[in-house]
Amino acid sequence: MTLLSIQGVSKHFRGLTAVDRVDLDVAAGEICGVIGPNGAGKTTLFNMIAGELKPDTGTIVFSGERIDGLSSDKVCRLGIGRTFQLVRPFPGLSVEENVIVGGLLRRSHVGAASERAHELLRRLDLYDKRAQTASSLTLPDRKRLEVARALATDPKLLLLDEVMAGLRPTETDRLVAVLRELNSDTGMTIVLIEHVMRAVMALASHILVLHHGAAIAQGVPEAVVRDPAVVESYLGAESVA
Amino acid sequence: MRALTHGLTRRSIVLLAVLLAVLVALPLFAGDYLITVLILILYFAYVGQAWNVMMGFAGQLSLGHALYVGLAGYLAAFLFKDYGVGPWIGLLAAIPLTMAAGAIIGFLALRFGVTGVYFAILTIAFAEFARIGFDHLDIVNGSGGLFLPVVQHDQSDLWLLRGPPTMFYYVILAATVVALVLSRLLLKSRIGYFWLAIREDEQAARATGINTFRYKMAAVVISAGMTAFAGVFYAFYYNNLFPEQIFHISRSIELIVGPIIGGLGTLIGPIVGAFLLTGLSETLTSALGAVGLDLPGARQVLYGICLLFVIIALPGGVWPWLARRLGLGEPR
């Protein structure tokens, strides 16, 4: 069953074509990776799915409903959670409060939301830091905090924008394991933008490659990373080995 | 009850109880002068608390809260004078009136994307409209002012808010306690968390599913409604209302200095700020009187210098610093 269906989506910024007629179908329960060089339009594509930007052309359908052009809060309420590439937790709030805010979206009592927050903070290894203010965290911790906040909104689809960046390899493996677990436990669908190929290869069952806004390849990871166009534009020859 | 005290240290509760007991017992020892100063302090603590809901919690700057004070004061005074309607019934009419005024301003601003300083300017504009409008509103005697009949101060009539300063003192003390409790309940509930999220990062708040328009509107409307009581109290305490005074921008400014000095977005900050500011102002007056310095404006200059030092030394406000010093933990 297709959960997210993107068809012919484009976005132009003045003269620049940031996203050029991209199609993507993501099945429910799938983990999909979006890769490509900097400036390829990955984050712009995310922002259109999440309601931050309105596509110039094309349609985005989520669980049978058109969502292109909806505001970001409506999109989130429909079941899409996201993180930001340039992290933006609520800086003056504590780690715990950040996640409680997310938990309150579908829970009316702070008690229930904080229970959910604690559970997620444990999963993401932030429980011991729950009383710190978010602004005092290191960048990798802030990224994990954004993941926790997004998860607290109980999304059907989670959009992760470079959450592995800056993590040490062991931390990457840990976060990969957590995401895998969430995916298999709850059937949550994940679309992730990622430069860390180690993480993409470990997680994704489907990969979309963007270059200059256009989809130059998509399919199963093993095939995509051997695609000559992908190697040429993004991965570089040595990474295939 | 649990929601009220949850998360507070034992020390904070004891301290609050002692402070309240002192304030309740104070009229037994204090003279009339001290009582009038305390009434002023508590008035600013109350109205600062109301303003803090909008700015401190939800991050929406209002520089026009004099509008709500004035509208409520005028409505209650008018109903009392011309129709004999008591102030508490007047308050019941004033609250929806101020809420409606807040809703109109909030709707105009938020619906059309007027944010930040532009929003603040809009709030000033509406207070100014009211000032000029009331100057020409004959039904409340325009710029000539509206006066309530002043009666002998021996008997307390709580229902009609007629009585000696001590009665007004207890009324504003009770209101300040109610405002504190209400603010805490709001802050610790779902709406409070959403307000803080909007204050911290509106875009991220929307991405977390928060309908920011609705919650910002709620902040404006609740803050305006809380301010209504301050207006009614003002009218019945001073017994006179002039558009040039009550709606004046300086009134809007003076009521926001307390919460800023005390600690924006904190629950105790507006109260601490009100004590500091009014205390400072009164101390300067008597100190200057004692040394015989009678330069016009000297008091204001010294007052400004003191504020400057507080803001430089404690940019987050006095209360967060004080709370840490007293070992109370939770700065909010």
Q: What are the extents of the domains in chain B?
A: 2-325
Distance from CA of B196 to the nearest CA of A (A): 8
Q: What is the pLDDT of residue B50?
A: 98
Q: Are strands A57-62 and A65-66 parallel, antiparallel or unpaired?
A: antiparallel
Q: In the CATH scheme, what is the code of domain B2-325?
A: 1.10.3470
Local structure of A108: helix, strand or coil: coil
Residue B86, pLDDT above cutoff 60: yes
Mean pLDDT score, A2-31 = 94
Residue B5, pLDDT above cutoff 80: no
Distance CA A181, CA A156 (A): 15
pLDDT band at residue A229 using 50, 70 and 90 as cut-offs: confident
pLDDT band at residue B149 using 50, 70 and 90 as cut-offs: confident
Query: Which chain B residue is nearest to residue A152, measuring alpha carbons?
Result: B208
Neighbours of B199 (CB within 10 A): 22
Q: What is the pLDDT of residue B112?
A: 87
Pick from B110, B201, B203, B208 the residue to mutate for testing the A interface (most A CBs within 10 Å).
B208
Q: What is the pLDDT of residue B152?
A: 65
The answer to whether the Cβ–Cβ distance between A76 and B209 falls below 8 Å is: yes
Q: What is the pLDDT of residue B132?
A: 96
The span from the first CA to the last CA of chain B, in angstroms, equals 19
The answer to whether the Cβ–Cβ distance between B204 and A84 falls below 8 Å is: yes
Local structure of A202: helix, strand or coil: helix
Distance from CA of A125 to the nearest CA of B (A): 21
Q: What is the pLDDT of residue A237?
A: 54
Q: What's the whole-model pTM score?
A: 0.93
User: A71: which chain B residues are within 8 Å (Cβ-Cβ)?
Assistant: 206
**In this complex, is the C-beta atom of B155 within 8 Å of any C-beta atom belonging to chain A?**
no
Residue with the bigger pLDDT between B209 and A237: it is B209
Residue B155, CB-side half-sphere exposure with 13 Å CA sphere: 6
**In this complex, is the C-beta atom of B69 within 8 Å of any C-beta atom belonging to chain A?**
no
pLDDT band at residue A238 using 50, 70 and 90 as cut-offs: low
pLDDT band at residue A167 using 50, 70 and 90 as cut-offs: confident
Mean pLDDT score, A81-108 = 95
Question: Which of B277, B265, B278 lies closest to B320 in space, CA to CA?
Answer: B265
Spans of all domains in chain A: 1-79+188-241
pLDDT digits (tens, 9 = 90+) for B65-78: 999 999 999 999 99
Contact B184, B16 (CB under 8 A): no
- Supply the mean pLDDT for chain B: 91
Residue B3, pLDDT above cutoff 80: no
Residue with the bigger pLDDT between A87 and B289: it is A87
**In this complex, is the C-beta atom of B238 within 8 Å of any C-beta atom belonging to chain A?**
no
B188, B199, B208 member nearest A153 (Cβ)? B208
According to CATH, the topology of domain A1-79+188-241 is Rossmann fold (3.40.50)
pLDDT digits (tens, 9 = 90+) for B168-186: 999 999 999 999 999 999 9
Question: Which of A182, A232, A218, A177 lies closest to A199 in space, CA to CA?
Answer: A177
pLDDT digits (tens, 9 = 90+) for A38-82: 889 999 999 999 999 999 999 999 999 999 999 999 999 999 999
Q: What is the pLDDT of residue A241?
A: 41
User: B201: which chain A residues are within 8 Å (Cβ-Cβ)?
Assistant: 88-91
| CA angle (B215, B217, B220) in 5-degree steps | 115
The answer to whether the Cβ–Cβ distance between B209 and A90 falls below 8 Å is: no
Mean pLDDT score, A97-124 = 96
Bridge partners, A189 (sequence order): A157
Distance from CA of A85 to the nearest CA of B (A): 12
Local structure of B96: helix, strand or coil: helix
- B303: enclosing H helix or E strand: helix B298-313
Residue B257, pLDDT above cutoff 90: yes
Q: What is the pLDDT of residue B153?
A: 61
Query: Which chain B residue is nearest to residue A71, measuring alpha carbons?
Result: B206
Residue A240, pLDDT above cutoff 50: no
Mean pLDDT score, B291-296 = 76
Q: What is the pLDDT of residue A95?
A: 97
- Supply the mean pLDDT for chain A: 93
Residue with the bigger pLDDT between B291 and B192: it is B192
pLDDT band at residue B290 using 50, 70 and 90 as cut-offs: confident
pLDDT digits (tens, 9 = 90+) for B21-46: 999 999 988 888 999 999 999 999 99
Residue B167, pLDDT above cutoff 80: yes
Mean pLDDT score, B98-126 = 93
pLDDT band at residue A125 using 50, 70 and 90 as cut-offs: very high
Residue B330, pLDDT above cutoff 70: no
Q: What is the pLDDT of residue B22?
A: 93
Residues of A with CB under 8 A from a CB of B: 50, 52, 71-73, 76-77, 82, 84, 88-93, 97, 100-102, 104-105, 108-110, 113, 149-150, 153
**In this complex, is the C-beta atom of B210 within 8 Å of any C-beta atom belonging to chain A?**
yes
Contact B74, B134 (CB under 8 A): yes
B188, B204, B212 member nearest A88 (Cβ)? B204
Q: What is the pLDDT of residue A12?
A: 94
Ranked by mean pLDDT, which of A98-102, A217-221, B18-22, B164-168 comes out on top?
A98-102
Q: What is the pLDDT of residue A2?
A: 93
B196, B200, B208 member nearest A76 (Cβ)? B208
